[in-house]
Amino acid sequence: ASSKAYGDRVASHSNRAAQDLLRTMERKQSNLCVSVDVTSKAAFLAVVEAVGPFVCLIKTHVDVIADFDADLVEQLTQLAAKHDFLIFEDRKFADIGNTVSLQYAGGIYKIASWSHITNAHTVPGPGIIAGLAKVGLPLGRGLLLLAEMSSAGNLATGAYSDQTIAMARAHRDFVVGFIAMQRPSGPADEDFLILTPGVQLGSKGDALGQQYRTPREVVFDSGCDVIIVGRGVTGSGESINVEEVQHQARRYRDEGWSAYRERIASN
Ligand code: UP6
């Protein structure tokens, strides 16, 4: 999959969210996902409006937004249509199937109703996939499994990562790929989407265990598909400088896309 153009991989996926993401990447010439980890609705919408033209995907943590409400979802959905991107709520579900189906469909956030893609840890076993699929598949949603993490000392390695990949293979209708640091090896015709956080230019990490690599290391060296960039684009504080955010989004979009062009040209 890593040698093929994004647009040529649509046919390898049966899941609508995966197909839509690949088509969006090709159309917008962007493999950038911005992670909008800010804590007010106003800052959130300002960042999304600023980076919208440059991204294929917006990643959210809606539970950190102090004044979250239904109107935020409405406005986010409108911005997704206006700027042509998909939405990924980075919920990292991690409970038994029955509980995650309730968390995914309901509560305050009603994630399944607006988020095209979400993700889950595999620590509970395959029941978590079945519980989420029950809610998400009828809506055309897609799931990513956390096969690896970017943070120092994390336990998602070795046999855990391998068994996560095996669980994904058994649920290809709903599981579209992984949060991972590299493309896993597999049959030549196997096509998972690899979305990778821990990306920043000019910093190796933060004070709480985050570890950063560059877009080129992620996309060219490791064969990943989507770079997920948070503070590299938004900055660390709550005050949003729209011009700077836009400048960084363009920069990461350009870096990610040229690493991808280099990858498909060299294969
Ligand atoms: N994230 C990681 N590493 C993982 C999984 N998820 O950093 O292994 C998420 C974080 C954050 C974003 O929850 O939202 O990706 C990274 O943000 P940053 O670029 O500001 O470090």
* Predicted confidence (pLDDT) per residue in 68-112, tens digit: 999 999 999 999 999 999 999 999 999 999 999 999 999 999 999
Q: Is 78 annotated as a binding residue?
A: no
CB 36 within 8 Å of CB 231: no
Residues with CB under 6 A from ligand 1: 35, 37, 61, 90, 149-151, 179, 197-198, 200, 210, 228-232
Angle of CA points 106, 50, 203, to nearest 5°: 90
pLDDT of residue 66: 98
ipTM over 0.85: yes
User: What would the mean pLDDT of 204-223 be, rounded to a whole number?
Assistant: 98
Q: Which are the contacts of 61, defined by CB distance < 8 A and separation ≥ 6?
A: 35, 37, 89, 90
Q: Is 59 annotated as a binding residue?
A: yes
For residue 192, the CA-to-ligand 1 centroid distance in Å is: 20
pLDDT of residue 24: 98
pLDDT band at 184, cuts 50/70/90?
Answer: very high
Pocket-testing residue among 35, 51, 60, 200, ligand 1, by greatest number of atoms within 8 A of Cβ: 35
Report the chain's mean pLDDT, rounded to a whole number: 97
